[in-house]
Chain A
Amino acid sequence: MTSVAERDGKAGRMTRPAPLGKRRDLDWIGIPLIAAVGLAVYWLLPDDLALLTRIAASALFVLSLDLVLGYGGIATLGQAAMFGTGAYAAGILAVNWINDPFAMLAVGGLAGGLLALVTGALILHARGLTLLMLTIAVGQIVQEVANKARDWTGGSDGLSGIDPAPVLGMFRFDMFGHTSYLFALAVLLVGLVVARRIVRSPFGLACRGVSEDPLRVSAIGGSPKSYLVVLYAVAGVFAGVAGALTAVTSGIVGLDSTGFSWSAEALVMLVLGGTGRLYGAVIGTAAFMGVHHILAANDPYHWMAFIGLFLIGIVLFLPGGIVSGVERLGGLRRGKEGGA
């Protein structure tokens, strides 16, 4: 019989971040490359700007999940709670008081961060199934509150009538979505730069330490839980900004933006791209939503069958996601690298 330990070792790969040192020389290309591709598709696919905008905003959301899961090792199915809270906060702000897009992003990020800080402090002592359940429960409660507070959120009809002011007072949100897309792309790029800075900071390294060996971190004087709570809150800010960005660019916030399936989809996108790499989030989101756009146009069930088989395949054959597959093909990983 294959020993359990052997299987465990194999699966440990799924959440472990890529090794830092070897790829540092190539790493700086990532963000300019994403910017270049983002601008290229803007010229190449002018008819699909709505889809591209959604991809950019969702990528920021998946990025927040990557911070939590890829760098903190926290398996969560409730990240959409922060996304939805950010989206509703920004939307309510715009409908009632201020409709400046940057103010909306700031308020969305603040709301998502606060929710993550409070709930994270409450639930992050748990592990495994319990933690999964708690994150799901938080998401469901946020959804339920949003559903009941009809006067503020529009309930199941969704919050509509969000009409953001021109960006910097100059660029109006036109009906073709040019401004929306460029705005979303810019926010995503800033998000990537900030996230990259965070995961390379001493704090980010400490979080990696916690995800790899919490006992050791506490042995050298760190407090694993407080690192994780802060990381969870930071990721909550990212998720909240992503939600606000969706509110700004689409002008509507629906109940499903806080739902369990949106959390699960984000997880799927992240794993598709590869965890613990930041760029994996962007690549996974683009791949997932792009294929979804093509397949689900015919029949949503075809899409489910496809993504289901794909997920099974990823877990069985490519535990590091698309990015790791490309890395392996490119021969960037020399030798075995000690189980990583």
Chain B
Amino acid sequence: METMFGIAVDGVAYGMILFIISVGLSVTLGLMRVVNLAHGAFAMVGGYVASYAAQSVGLPYGVALVAAVALTVLATLPLERLLYRRIYGSANELAQVLLTIGLTFVIVAGINYLFGPTLKRIPLPELLTGTVELGPKAIPTHRAFVIGAGAATLLGLWWLLERTDFGIRLRAAVDDPAMAAALGIRTERLYLATFALGTGLAALGGVLGAELLPLEPYYAIRYIVLFLAVVAVGGAGSIFGSAAAALALGIVDTAGKYLIPNFGEFFFYAALILILFRWPHGFFKGRTA
């Protein structure tokens, strides 16, 4: 029972981190149809900025978090203009894979040059280090915080896409970019805003998840497969699909690690193949998939 509870808490927290990072990828993939392998690199940049802000500049955790998200978005916006805009569209898969792998390599090398190859930490404030009592059980506060942040992200995104003007335009552009443009929606701006949203989510997840996905230069390459898996299972462009897929994969992976420690990855990828074999467009077929 104790183990099951541990699996549930850790699995859900891990799943939430996967969700926050992957949903950014899912949104950009759904709208711009870009297989962005550099998404993990953006998450890593966010984590490193927060780590630098908290450790070397001495900013409090909350400020470091906001600064990391803002700086990552600012730093990557020129990339949208210069690089990504050229590879939008679903016929460009190979170009997308290559360009974004190249970008990932450059970012990995740059991070190593600036921060060195050692593991970086983002010190947690005291508020997040203890445990929260939940009836008879105790949950580490950081896990609870991560789960809360994930849930808030989910609700916020849902509200943004379903209830705001921006969301309406975005969904229109996802369904039919040419028609949306003809109706006067400025799709280029929309792309830019969506790209910023996706990168911001990546950075947020990179900072929040630094405890679970440790920050080092190869982060960008090591975890991108995980994020892509979530998007592939959840269906590109679907928020709830990403959430469900991230939680499911997070729990399967964690359970595999707890119960049969030597076969964790194996279960993850076996589950992935089974799901994709049965539902090639993702378990939760998104609007666009």
Contacts and interface: CB of A to CB of B under 8 A. Distances in A.
B280 A4 contact: no
Given A8-B92, A11-B89, A126-B280, A144 B263 contact: yes
A207 B149 CA distance: 49
A128 interface: yes
A141 B269 contact: yes
A133 B272 contact: yes
A132 interface: yes
Nearest to A143: B265
B35 A132 contact: yes
Contacts of A314: 98, 102
A77 B97 contact: yes
B102 A129 contact: no
Interface string A298-340: 0001101101111110111001000000000000000000000
Interface residues of A, number: 51
A241 interface: no
Contacts of A133: 228-229, 232, 272, 276
Interface in B77-104: 83, 86-95, 97-99, 101-104
Contacts of B83: 312, 316
Contacts of B105: 304-305, 307-308, 311
B272 A301 contact: no
B270 interface: yes
Interface residues of B, number: 54
A309 B225 contact: no
Given A1-B188, A304-B108, A311 B93 contact: no
A125 B273 CA distance: 13
Contacts of A14: 92, 94-95
Given A138-B273, A141-B266, A311-B101, 15 more contacts: A7-B87, A77-B97, A123-B277, A129-B231, A130-B276, A132-B228, A144-B269, A148-B262, A148-B263, A301-B108, A308-B105, A309-B102, A309-B106, A312-B83, A315-B98
30 contacts: A1-B188, A3-B178, A11-B89, A11-B92, A11-B94, A14-B94, A14-B95, A123-B273, A123-B276, A125-B280, A128-B90, A129-B35, A129-B231, A133-B232, A134-B277, A136-B228, A140-B225, A140-B265, A144-B266, A148-B266, A267-B97, A301-B112, A301-B113, A304-B109, A308-B104, A310-B102, A311-B101, A312-B103, A316-B99, A319-B95
Q: Which 10 pairs of residues, A with B, have the shortest CB-CB distance?
A: A311-B102, A308-B105, A305-B109, A308-B106, A8-B91, A133-B232, A11-B92, A312-B102, A315-B99, A304-B109
